[in-house]
Amino acid sequence: MIERFGTWEGFLGLVAIGFVAYSVAVVPEFATDFNISQAIAGMSERGLIVLPMVLLIIAREIDLSVASTLALASVVFGVAVQAGLPIGAAVAAAVATGAVAGAFNGVLVTVLGLPSLVVTLGTMAMFRGIGYVILGPRSVNVFPDSFTDFGIDNVGSAPIPWTFVPFLVLLPLFVIVLGHTALGRRIYVIGGNPEAARYSGVRVDRIRFGLFVVSGIVAAIAGIVYAARLANSRADNALGMELDIIIIALLGGVSVFGGRGKLIGVFFAMIIIAVLRNVLGLYQISGDAQGTSTGLLLIAALLLNSTVQRIYAKYRIVPKRIQSAGPRSGGQAVTSNEAPNTRM
């Protein structure tokens, strides 16, 4: 039994389920269609962007420019719609913008060898700046009904908003790539030890570049989703969202030092944060107090994570551990054998 939940992801899963069950039982008005669907809708963009972010952090990189890319893509999308382009073409223009933005980050990191933290800190300001150059402080807010309906409506009678569907489509894709393909294994290996990866023939830079491009594209998709949800294209869209996304990834058990983490943990982290925010809102706890709670949660999680692992490590039979990790998740097996306590 201990073995069964003896991972951070298992622990998070228990916490998430417990928290949801508690909220349903105790918090008035929590378990209504409207409330559930809006709590989910609020995660539409964060869920999307966190997917490539997890891959990047596992590969020892980071993309701080995601929220700015989102804003820029939403501006390009809005301007295209305003110019009379059909929605399909406007979507293509926005996605292309995201791809170019991601490629720009990728080139600076892989060709010029600059650290991604610094590069994307710069492009974080730059991409949003370009958004302001294009649209100034104005906004585009006239969209076709079909588009705004996508931003507002739920799927059938289920409390799942349409804006959450792109995430639900991409999630299994990312889970498969990261957990069940050679590419996924290489991403772990790069994060675990980039030099070793290079010597064993992994095309490290090509994979890194690809991850940045994917990050840009997904951020652009999130930009379109955001524009639909708020019926608004504006250069200051999603201001500060990059931090939320990184918090979700870290809370989900993705190691800041790379090489470790799973999307299932990140998914549970999303549930915990969405429910926490929602419940605080229902209890009328406002603004900065909410931000403080998320911050505290992250710090508590970092402390707990290392403690939980230390405790479980005592009870765990080592050969079985390796067996259960399987030969596929090479990067993880290596790191957990090394020293489970040194990483987070």
Partner 1 sequence: MRLRNKSLGIAALALATSLIGLNASAAETCATGPVTVGFISKLDTDPYFEVSKQGAEEAQAEIGGKVLQQSPGQQTAEAQIAFINSFVSQKVDVIAISSNDLNALAPALKRAAHQGIKVVTYDSDVVAPARGVFFNQAKSDSVAEMLLQSMGDLTDHEGEFAVLQGTPTNANQNSWVDFMKAQLKDNPKFSKMKLVQVVYGQGSEQIAQQQILALTQNYPNLKGISVPDGIGMPAAARALEQAGLLGKIKLTGLAPASLLKKYIQGGAVQDVWWNVKDLGYLTYYGAQAYAQCKITGKTGETFKAGRLGDYTIGEAGEVVLGPAQIVTSANLDVFKF
Question: Element (H or E) spanning 129, and its range?
Answer: helix 116-135
Nearer to partner 1, 21 or 318 (CB): 21
Residue 253 C-beta: closest distance to partner 1, Å: 11
Residue 38 C-beta: closest distance to partner 1, Å: 4
Q: Which residues bind partner 1 (CB under 8 A)?
A: 4-5, 7, 9-10, 13-14, 16-17, 20-21, 24, 29-36, 38-39, 42, 136-137, 139, 141, 148, 151-152, 158-160, 175, 179-180, 229-232, 234, 236-240, 262-264, 267-268, 271, 277-278, 281-282, 284, 286-291, 324, 326
Residue 211 C-beta: closest distance to partner 1, Å: 19
Residue 332 C-beta: closest distance to partner 1, Å: 10
Nearer to partner 1, 108 or 264 (CB): 264
Q: Which residues contact 58 (CB under 8 A, 6 or more apart)?
A: 178, 187, 188, 191, 254, 255, 258, 259, 260, 261, 331
Nearer to partner 1, 23 or 110 (CB): 23
Identify the CA nearest to 50 among candidates 321, 251, 343, 336: 251
Nearer to partner 1, 97 or 139 (CB): 139
Distance CA 150, CA 320 (A): 48
Residue 27 C-beta: closest distance to partner 1, Å: 10
Decide: 201 and 194 in contact? Cβ < 8 Å.
Answer: no
Nearer to partner 1, 67 or 119 (CB): 67
Q: At what angle are helices 87-110 and 66-82 packed, to 10 degrees?
A: 150
Residue 23 C-beta: closest distance to partner 1, Å: 9
Nearer to partner 1, 100 or 340 (CB): 340
Nearer to partner 1, 1 or 112 (CB): 1
Nearer to partner 1, 18 or 86 (CB): 18
Residue 256 C-beta: closest distance to partner 1, Å: 21
Residue with tokens 């585009």: 140
DSSP letter string, 141-177: ----HHHHHHHH-BSTTSS-BGGGHHHHHHHHHHHHH
C-beta neighbour count of 285 within 10 angstroms? 14
Residue 170 C-beta: closest distance to partner 1, Å: 15
Nearer to partner 1, 152 or 303 (CB): 152
Residue 318 C-beta: closest distance to partner 1, Å: 17
